[in-house]
Chain A
Amino acid sequence: MMENAWIIPLFPLISFLLLLLLGKRLKESSAYIGIAFTLFSLLFSLLVLWERFTSPTYKIGTEWLKIGDLSITAGMEVNQLNALMLVIVSLVSFLVHMYSKGYMQGEERFSVFYAYLGLFTFAMLGLVLSPNLLQLYVFWELVGLGSFLLIGFYFYKEEAKQAAKKAFIMTRIGDVGLFIGMILLFWETGSFEYDAIFKAAAEGSISEGMITLTAIFIFIGAMGKSGQFPLHTWLPDAMEGPTPVSALIHAATMVAAGVYLVAAMFPLFSESSTALLIVAATGAFTAIFAASIGLVQTDIKRVLAYSTVSQLGYMMLALGTAGYVAGVFHLMTHAFFKALLFLAAGSVIHAVHTQNIEEMGGLWKKLKITGPLFLIGTLAISGVPLFSGFFSKDEILVSAWNHGNYILFFLALIAAFFTAFYMFRLFFLVFTGNQKKEAQNVHESPASMTIPMLILGFLAVVSGYVNTPWFGTFLGDWLTKGNHYLEHGHEDSPVWIMLAATLVSLAGITLAYMIYSKRSISRDWLGGEGSMMYNILYNKYYADEFYNLSIVRLTGIISVFFSYIDRFIVEGLVNGVTGTVQKLGKIGSRMQTGQVQQYGTIAFFGLAVLLIIFALTGGIFE
């Protein structure tokens, strides 16, 4: 089966092409095509994963492009990480395909939506199968295209247009980093293949400075895709897209591609402690930075978006502190519980037709399925024991502690507190308290939406048990087996870390309960709305404003400056030349006086000048 893994991305591609051609006629039955083809992908992915448990890594490649003596190959590779990613991506994509059938009902461009979903799934599956950096880059850009198209799905909305543009451009800034890093590595090693690069890095045939430099460039690419500070601002805006898209692309899969990239290139990063430190510090800072913004947002999807940014920061922190398994583990659990949260949020939005959590409340009784599922997701992300997020977050904290960087460890701990607090703030505001008048005619969503949520809810609970300090670290053992570039991820950890993590998350939950449910603490206890701190957080540290005033403004200034050069210097020069020619012409015409004496004089002087020139140079016949 593994040798046929290349067929997995082709299913959604076929779905994309079919829907482009036939979508107009199929209308809402387009959904069945999309669902069927992603189901094929999912089944094949499961088979590949199953086979990968027992077989070694499978890799094929063939020449794609020849440049002189250089040969650039294309192919695919099925190693542990890829096989795991295949299942995560195709599973979430399948569930989102199913969910969208209900959610997007009545949408005029229904088939287009499914076509785009197919395109995205194709690119994402292609990305994880790539055996080399160039091929990864190709699919990397294509997932960006899918994301761009889906954010801008409601193209007539100005916000959607701006958000799509921003997403494309901000991620492209990162992409150029990846582009440069990839090419520099190529000239160092003569190959884009991961294996060749790791071999060269391990053998020391790349200088240490170069390893650090290329690793940083590649990390810039990962920062763009995974919304790491300072390239994070596009991700919350991407919530303008339909909610199922937010679940698939901007929570579970594409944004995790940056983490995947660092994980896939981990042997290179691990050769440079500077690069690792940068990854860890960026991750930790982003984790707490985004979490603090999430504390005060009032749009249900934005809160989730900032929590995604924050959780991605966690994963980066894990990788940066050499916690390869911890990073990948959290990537997996996060994919499940965050997709669950987004789909549940979509179900809420579907019911109440608003995204503002201040306008919601008391939905627990009305949404009998969505409510408990949202709670499961919230418990998982908050790191409450026995839920999946608890185990993966614990791994990360252990990794940060064992790495010896205590500042980062405490940042991560505080971020965990924030996470528990704002997630339960969200939960209490939406599901408890009094029902608002907007929420009168509320119904639970149809089965096509609740079934995918149930599956994800199940996974959000159990997926943690594949790697626990209590029952065994199956995932970690398997991920690192036979890969001599990776050390085993899990190390024995002080028990107090697990206790601390639990306490911190319970503290966050309790505080949220006191403020937003029991209301025994005033909402304004820390300054409240209108205070400076609140404004800074609510306006996301003014990052967008800062970019508008600096980079965007600068681009405009350079452009205007160039346009002046174009208009005055370049055109001026040309006009000068034509002007001179005209003047010369006028002088010439002025000489045409008709007076023979004057012509004679000029002819005489001309002859004299010619003779002098000949006399001095010796004439043409040397």
Chain B
Amino acid sequence: MNEILLSVLVFSPLIGILALCFISKNQEKAIKWAGILATVPALALSLFLYSYYLGGNNLSAFSEKVRWIQFGSIANADSKLFAVDYELALDGFALLMVLLTAVLSTLSAIASISIKKEWKGYFMLFLLLETGMLGVFMAQNMVLFFIFFEITLIPAFFLIGKWGYIEKEKAAFSFLIYNGFGSAVLLIVIMVLFARAGTSNIEALRYIINVGGVPLVSPITEGMKYGLLIALLIAFGVKLPIFPLHTWMLRVHVQAPPPIVMLHAGVLLKIGAFGLIRFGLGIFPEQFKDLSVIIAVLGVINLLYGAFLAFIQKEFKMVLAYSSISHMGIVLIGLGALNESGIQGAIFQVVSHGLIAALLFFLVGVIYERVQTTSLSNLGGLSKAMPLTSGFLLAGAMASLGLPGMSGFISEFMAFLGLFKTDPLLAGIGALGIIITAVYLLRAVMGITFGKQGVSVRTKAMRDLNSVEMVPVLVLLAFIVIIGIYPSILSNPLEDTIQLIMTGLGGQAG
């Protein structure tokens, strides 16, 4: 069982697709149940792995490796070269990402009960998307990573384009073009590495680039390493997104259906951060070190730029979209700090923002379903009609602006702690973002919940959260608070990963 556990985990959602084939497309209830249930095995398995790992056991027992594709044979090269294996494995960081994906997938599937049409197609694509996301975090070589990465793009494209709001097609194309561009750049990097080193295994590449001494098919020069790292920065920068590559994700955040935005903001964007850490920092630590100031500066730009723009948006979804950009700045700030505190903060932010963004977008979906608008000028005084929704929205905003006791604070704190060590002045400028974040979030959330009742609120018959809708809200909030109070449940599994990264950086102490 151990040898195929990870494969079962990755491909378990596909069983749901198979089951869906046998359900008639009009049986709404059955389809939704099947869709939700199909996400449960992955959730159960990842929870099992998490508790197994916390219990002090080693995850390498679950690693899988099967020879998959052999690319011809070049006369003077080793026969082991130019082969691609099917290999899955987990470390602490990947485990957390898998767990995040599994949790958000189940919750987002629950949120998908609000989907109004063509449920069958929706859930098939949804489950395919989940498989792609799970695979991305477990793939042990870049080719396999790329395949899973592409598997996420296609279902996401259709989910946005078909089930989104008014300008859904435009948003879907924008999504595809930018991400396609990012993928192309990523593919170039992978191919260059594969062609020159003869392998795409991440571990092997880490060794080849950093330690060297391995005969290569064709040399990788110092300059080329920088080029490859910058290419990775662009490829994953589109995904994260890094200013100025961000405009596509605004459209997606506004136009995609809320459950998909939960996954998009919660997991898909985080693939950008994951890639930067795993490949950028993992394979090219020396070069990353040289670029770290630029990355920190980009982080501060993201943070402030997103925050200022979120301040003047008239549409709540746009506020949250810019807020995502701003919060991804924290990830870059942590990575740019390049010490234990900063990197740990960056990874915390990846997880924490995933949970918080999912919570906020879920509530956006709830509100939109009731009042058919998220325009700030039409909303207001929601607390009266929907006290629970308003209360949770405020809680989500507090988490997002980094209130201590919630996960956002821990990540923000560690990222800034890291940057204050390496570059106090830049960190001081970035700290202004903490104020502006409070300003724009309170403006938006209080505009919706406090004050006089807005036009749309007054004219609609409102009902508060029902018991099904309470599930995602309470689960997400529980995670956010638990991480905020007891951060060790995240930092303990991360210890090995961060140790490895620090070793790559030459043991530069925190």
Residues of A within 8 A of B414 (CB): 67
A525 on the B face (CB < 8 A): no
| Chain B residues whose C-beta falls within 8 Å of the C-beta of A556 in the assembled complex | 311-312
Q: How far, in whole Å, are A263 and B57 apart by their CA atoms in the complex? A: 48
| Contact call A156/B452, Cβ cutoff below 8 A | yes
Contact of B450 among A70, A152, A169, A570 (CB under 8 A): A152
A555 touching B305 in the complex, CB below 8 Å, given contacts A66-B488, A69-B510, A156-B452: no
Contacts of B450 in A (CB 8 A): 152, 155-156, 160-161, 164
- A573 touches B (CB below 8 Å): yes
Residues 562-588 of A at the B interface (beta carbon under 8 Å): 562-563, 566, 569-571, 573-574, 578
Asked if residues A566 and B247 are in contact (CB atoms below 8 Å), the reply is yes
Chain B residue numbers with a CB within 8 Å of A555 are: 308, 311, 436, 439
- Contacts A156-B450, A176-B435 given; does A145 touch B403 at CB 8 Å: yes
Instruction: Establish whether residues A142 and B405, one from each chain, have CB atoms under 8 Å apart when the complex forms.
Output: yes
B443 touches A165 (CB 8 A): yes
Whether A559 pairs with B434 at a CB distance below 8 angstroms is: no
Q: State how many angstroms separate the Cβ of B76 from the closest Cβ of chain A.
A: 13
Known: A65-B410, A142-B405. Contact between A183 and B442, CB under 8 A? no
Residue from A172, A179, A574 within 8 A of B416 (CB atoms): A179
Does chain B have a CB within 8 A of A138?
Answer: yes
Residues of B contacting A574 with CB < 8 Å? 247
In the assembly, what is the distance between CA of A139 and CA of B409, in Å? 12
Once A155-B450, A165-B442, A169-B439 are accepted as A-B contacts, the answer to whether A562 and B491 lie under 8 Å apart by CB is: no
Given known A-B contacts A155-B450, A172-B434, A183 and B404 have beta carbons under 8 A apart: no
How distant is A193 from chain B, measured CB to nearest CB, in Å?
A: 16
If A68-B340, A158-B452, A169-B435 touch, whether A184 touches B424 (CB-CB below 8 Å) is yes
Q: Do B452 and A179 touch across chains, with their CB atoms under 8 A apart? A: no
Assess whether A179 is in contact with B491, with CB atoms less than 8 Å apart: no
Q: B420 contacts which of A157, A184, A558 (Cβ < 8 Å)?
A: A184
Q: Is the CB of A155 within 8 A of B383?
A: yes
Report the separation of the CA atoms of residues A139 and B452 in the bound assembly, to the nearest whole angstrom. Answer: 31
Least CB distance from B107 to A in Å reads 22
| Distance, CA A173 to CA B416, complexed state (A) | 16
Contact A161 B446 (CB under 8 A): yes
Q: Residue-by-residue, is A144-162 near B (CB-CB < 8 Å gives 1, otherwise 0)?
A: 0100000010011110110
Contact status A67-B341, CB under 8 Å:
yes
B502 at the interface (CB under 8 A from A): yes
Q: Is the CB of A156 within 8 A of B383?
A: yes
Given A172-B438, A176-B432, A186-B417, the answer on whether A165 and B305 have CB atoms closer than 8 Å is no
The reply to whether the CB of B398 lies closer than 8 angstroms to some CB of chain A is: yes
A465 at interface by CB-CB < 8 Å: no
CA distance A69 to B417 in the complex (A): 14
- Residue ID in chain A nearest B412 by CB atoms: A179
Check B9 for interface membership: any CB of A closer than 8 A.
no
Query: B446, A65: Cβ atoms under 8 Å?
Result: no
Q: Hey, which chain B residues are within 8 Å of A169, CB to CB?
A: 435, 438-439, 442
* Known contacts A155-B450, A176-B432, A183 near B488 by CB under 8 Å: no
A359 to chain B: which residues have CB within 8 Å?
none
Q: CA–CA, A187 to B509, complex, Å?
A: 13
Asked if B201 is at the interface (CB within 8 A of a chain A CB), the reply is no
Which A residue's beta carbon lies closest to that of B306? A562
Contact of A156 among B427, B451, B509 (CB under 8 A): B451
Q: Does B256 contact A (CB under 8 A)?
A: no
Q: Say yes or no: is B329 at the interface (Cβ < 8 Å to chain A).
A: no
Contacts of B8 in A (CB 8 A): none
A168 interfacial by beta-carbon distance below 8 Å:
yes
Report B473 CB to chain A, min CB distance, Å.
Answer: 14
Contacts of A186 in B (CB 8 A): 417
Binary interface encoding of chain A residues 125-147 relative to chain B, with 1 for a CB under 8 A from any of its CBs, else 0 = 00000000010011101100100
Closest to B416 in A: A183
Q: Chain B residues near A578: list those with CB within 8 A.
A: 177
Inter-chain contacts of A160 with B (CB < 8 A)? 450
Once the chains bind, are B488 and A179 in contact (CB under 8 Å)? no
Q: Is A386 an interface residue (CB 8 A)?
A: no
Residue pair A562, B305 in contact (C-beta under 8 Å): yes
Measured CA separation A556–B410 after assembly (Å): 29
Residue B487 lies at the interface, judged by CB distance under 8 Å to chain A: yes
Distance A169 CA – B405 CA, assembled complex (angstroms): 18
A187–B421 CB distance below 8 A: yes
Q: For B381, what are the chain A residues with a Cβ–Cβ distance below 8 Å? A: 155-156
Contact across chains for B341 and A70 when beta carbons are under 8 A apart: yes
Is A180 positioned at the interface, with any CB of B under 8 Å from its CB? yes
Q: Is B344 an interface residue (CB 8 A)?
A: yes
- Tell whether B170 is near chain A: CB-to-CB under 8 Å: no
Instruction: For A573, list chain B residues within 8 Å (CB).
Output: 244
Q: Check A560 for interface membership: any CB of B closer than 8 A.
A: yes
Q: Which of B431, B442, B443, B488 sits near A180, CB closer than 8 Å?
A: B431
Minimum CB–CB distance for B116 against chain A, Å: 31
Are A187 and B309 in contact, with the CB atoms below 8 A? no
Residues of B within 8 A of A152 (CB): 446, 450
Q: Which of B311, B434, B449, B453 is close to A179, meaning CB atoms less than 8 Å apart?
A: B434
For window 204-240 of A, CB contacts with B under 8 Å fall at none
- Binary per-residue interface labels of chain B (409-430) against chain A in the complex, 1 for a CB within 8 Å, 0 otherwise: 1100110110011001001100
> Cβ of A164 and Cβ of B446 under 8 Å apart?
yes
CA distance A525 to B410 in the complex (A): 58
A158 / chain B contacts, CB cutoff of 8 Å: 451-452
**B239-273, CB under 8 A of A: which get 1 and which 0?**
00001101100000000000000000000000000
Q: Which of A70, A141, A156, A184 contacts B340 (CB 8 A)?
A: A70
A126 CB to closest chain B CB (Å) equals: 10
- Contact indicator A570/B244 (Cβ below 8 Å): yes
Other A-B contacts than A183-B416, A555-B439, A556-B312, 18 sampled, CB-CB below 8 A, are A65-B488, A66-B491, A137-B404, A138-B404, A139-B404, A145-B403, A156-B451, A165-B446, A176-B435, A183-B420, A184-B424, A186-B417, A187-B421, A556-B311, A559-B309, A562-B305, A570-B246, A574-B247
Shortest 7 CB-CB distances between A and B: which pairs? A68-B340, A138-B404, A68-B510, A161-B450, A559-B312, A155-B450, A559-B308
B residues sitting closer than 8 Å to A (CB atoms) are: 177, 243-244, 246-247, 305, 308-309, 311-312, 339-341, 344, 381, 383-384, 398, 403-405, 409-410, 413-414, 416-417, 420-421, 424, 427-428, 431-432, 434-436, 438-439, 442-443, 446, 449-453, 487-488, 491-492, 495, 498, 502, 509-510
Can you list 24 A-B pairs with a CB-CB distance of less than 8 A?
A65-B410, A68-B498, A138-B404, A141-B404, A142-B404, A155-B450, A156-B381, A156-B383, A156-B450, A156-B451, A156-B452, A165-B442, A168-B442, A176-B434, A186-B417, A555-B311, A555-B436, A559-B309, A559-B311, A560-B312, A566-B309, A570-B243, A570-B247, A571-B247
